[in-house]
Structure 1
Amino acid sequence: MTEPRPRSFAEKLAHVIATVHPPDRGPYSYREMEAGIQERGLAPVSGAYINQLVKERRDNPAMSVIESIAGFFGVPPGYFFDDEIAANIDKQLEALARWRDSEAIETAERIMQLGPRDRRTVVDLIDSLQQYEEQPRDRRTRRKPATHD
């Protein structure tokens, strides 16, 4: 079995751009990244240069550029060099992305208003739904449609 090839700097940068952004909106523009880096007092990096790094038109950025980009996105600079660090950060970013979803937040807040027994019932229901979804389609039993009286 072959190990996956290490991701390039550009691939990691593109991933962090696509993943780390405010709730209920898409990724930052390159100009927003440039302005955000400047607002944080980090070493300046132009939006055009970030674009070139993502598109692999430029490579081997200076450490100050890496530190500024990492600082803007709240990841350690090692994210761009060390695949083990990147894998750990990516797991955290995936969890963050799930919580960024306002519907998930609202659902979690409503569940936390329930008593312990009722929260356990909700967890059991979620487990049942996940088991159902994991079954091959041809082995699923048909669910009855909800009735609204």
Structure 2
Amino acid sequence: MTSGDDTPDQAARPLLGKIDVRLNELIAAFYPDERKRPGYTKLAQEIRETTGGAISGTYLWELATGKKRNVTLEQLSVLAEFFGVPPAYFFNEDVAERVSSQLKLAAALRDTRVRNLALRADGLSGESLDALLAMVAEARKLQNLSPIEEWDERTGTSDA
């Protein structure tokens, strides 16, 4: 299926619109400080040195900006290996959601205050933990932040 200019119809292949978003999410998670984030050439060099896979800075830039979408399985595999995610992250919504949740948790735990709060809560009773969770939920409301999804350890899913 093509549009009037003979380019693939994005609706027919929704995966094509996700690779840039997912790659940028990984880069931001791996390098949270934008000022210290390497350029695409340096990042490609790090990827090559870490994985042995061949990928260029120009190609990374094209993927990250959505200019190029014809990524090969080998290149996806190299990116997945470097960022420590399953290759399915790039094309499977369920896997991407799970990885995104893990990336958010990892980002939160980088903050010393969040880590200290979690460590200090260790050993508290269930009632005390529920009270702390309620306080955090109220603080998020006061700051107009979106609620955090609850994780059900029994089912391995969130409440969203």
Gaps of 5+ in 1: 138-149
SS of the counterpart of 1:43? coil
Residue 134 of structure 1, aligned match among 126, 141, 151: 141
Aligned CA distance change for structure 1 residues 135 and 98 (closer, same or farther; 3 Å)? closer
Residues 65-104 of structure 1: pairs in structure 2 closer than 5 A: 65-104=75-114
Q: How many residue pairs align between the two structures?
A: 128
SS of the counterpart of 1:78? helix
Q: Does 1:19 align with 2:19?
A: no
Residue 58 of structure 2, aligned match among 48, 51, 56: 48
8 A contact 2:51–2:81 mirrored in 1: no
- In the superposition, the TM-score normalised over structure 1's length comes to 0.67
SS of the counterpart of 1:40? helix
* Partner residue, 1:145: none
The percent identity for this pair of structures is 25
8 A contact 1:13–1:54 mirrored in 2: yes
Larger RCO of the pair (alpha carbons < 8 Å, separation 6+): 1
- In the superposition, the TM-score normalised over structure 2's length comes to 0.63
How far has the Cα of 1:21 moved from its partner? 3.2
Residue 35 of structure 1, aligned match among 36, 42, 45: 45
CA distance in 2, matches of 1:81, 1:133: 32
Task: State the AA in 2 paired with 1:77.
Answer: P
* Partner residue, 1:142: none
CA distance in 2, matches of 1:132, 1:58: 42
Moved more, 98-107 or 125-134: 125-134
Aligned CA distance change for structure 1 residues 8 and 116 (closer, same or farther; 3 Å)? closer
Q: Which has the larger radius of gyration?
A: 1
- Runs (4+) of structure 1 exceeding 6 A deviation are none
Root mean square deviation of aligned Cα: 3.0
CA distance in 1, matches of 2:141, 2:37: 34
